[in-house]
A and B are shown apart, each in its own frame.
Chain A
């Protein structure tokens, strides 16, 4: 695949190969995510979608390939640098932290922005308190209300309905106003109403803030209305790429999905 990296590609994945022991999770995977657009990665289970996201997140070291974010070589940076660069992600199985309230979980999303060190924190009065109050105010306005989580703001994570937890996960990822949002199966486990609400939230985020979104999911129907560009993975390789309509009509994609019990819809 030729990689003419356009200036409006926020994320460029170039020829990525990832191996676990002897198993190839990703083979020569390349993709581009345009600024302010929603790019979806689909494929049957085990196709390597989450692995791809994990490489971008810095959890796995690929055998070969590059990941460029806004021109920066992402693989050369430590994992925790992602947030500071404006990258945020959600997790398929929800990675919220028990022992903290919804608000505190969301605030953690802005960890990289805050400055309080050990002494300031221990003292609290002064810079740390100001910082915390400013952050709380900003999150209340920009994230909590934006995602209709006000009712749950001070509740413990444990015991919250699944749909709400997914919203909190999204909220946390928005806390630092990221430029790139990586969503790992945001619709998994939701009913139709919840899916629509989540899709609306994602759309609103993109429209209001110009966030670039790269998301993984199975649900073609919900994705259709949401994304401009779809990349299809199968067995760790890119097998098709294009608009949702193009991809649905692609015979290779149809073939990849047939016979896989989890496929939500057979492409039209």
Chain B
């Protein structure tokens, strides 16, 4: 029994780290431009489809297809920010949220039209062979995915904390007008954070697709990501990994003991609970509304 739980927990940690990466993209955009990106799941999905196009449709090797996919996603993200969001800057958040919600639907529809509705598989990027962690067995894709995610996460955190651009992003997130007064190019930061978020989303999408297969509805696992984001609190990037692991473990354990349907439903329940009990999440700051 214990060994099952431990094994499940390890699987949970692995899937949680994937959620965490997607969550980081959410939090990044929210911190920098104050917008909750309802289209995040679809950005993950499109990113994975770009890779699919490169590798499966055009037969390119990973080394060529991956950079192309990342560039394509970056362009898409920048395009969304520049053409769909920025013209509406200054409007209340409700408007921006609805725009992104609509954008997500648009991307879903577009993906369905271009690539079809059926689930497709990405070629084996992450070795499928199960990995042994001591006596415990983890599916290969998950294990390598987790490793990849930790690397990306770690790299990004270092960049965010220590690089000049990272500081600029944090400054913009903290106080837009002051950051602008200090000479930071706010609009450039907006574009940049969206591009980075797009790249992170692609990474998460590719790993997610490797584990679960790819369809226009990949974005639905964004609900798990949203649960992580809300649990972490919308403003903490570091917190997303902790929250991701918690959610991942919880979902895996509950899914095992209560069955697949409950596992699907759990994120929604979790979201509701967090909203009702502690809306700011684990690490979020309590916003004091200065009038």
Which residues of A are at the interface with B, using a C-beta cutoff of 8 A?
Answer: 20-21, 50, 54, 59, 91
Contact = CB atoms under 8 A, between A and B. Distances in A.
B287 to A, nearest CB: 11
B291 interface: yes
A21 B291 contact: no
B288 A50 contact: no
A54 B291 CA distance: 8
Q: Which 3 A-B pairs have the closest CB atoms?
A: A20-B288, A54-B291, A59-B291
Interface of B: 288, 291
A91 B288 CA distance: 18
A260 to B, nearest CB: 20
Contacts of A59: 291
A163 to B, nearest CB: 22
Nearest to B290: A20
A24 to B, nearest CB: 14
Contacts of A21: 288
Contacts of A54: 291
A72 to B, nearest CB: 23
Contacts of B288: 20-21
A20 B289 CA distance: 10
Nearest to B286: A21
A38 B288 CA distance: 31
Contacts of B291: 50, 54, 59, 91
A91 B291 CA distance: 9
A53 to B, nearest CB: 9
Nearest to B285: A21
Nearest to A184: B291
A262 to B, nearest CB: 17
6 contacts: A20-B288, A21-B288, A50-B291, A54-B291, A59-B291, A91-B291
Contacts of A50: 291
B109 to A, nearest CB: 32
A126 B291 CA distance: 39
A148 to B, nearest CB: 29
A203 B155 CA distance: 65
A59 B289 CA distance: 9
A20 B288 CA distance: 8
A69 B288 CA distance: 26
A50 B291 CA distance: 8
A212 B73 CA distance: 62
B6 to A, nearest CB: 41
A195 B291 CA distance: 23
B201 to A, nearest CB: 34
Nearest to A92: B291
A95 to B, nearest CB: 9
A80 to B, nearest CB: 16
Contacts of A91: 291
A39 B288 CA distance: 29
Contacts of A20: 288
B45 to A, nearest CB: 37
A21 B288 CA distance: 9
A150 B288 CA distance: 39
Nearest to B288: A20
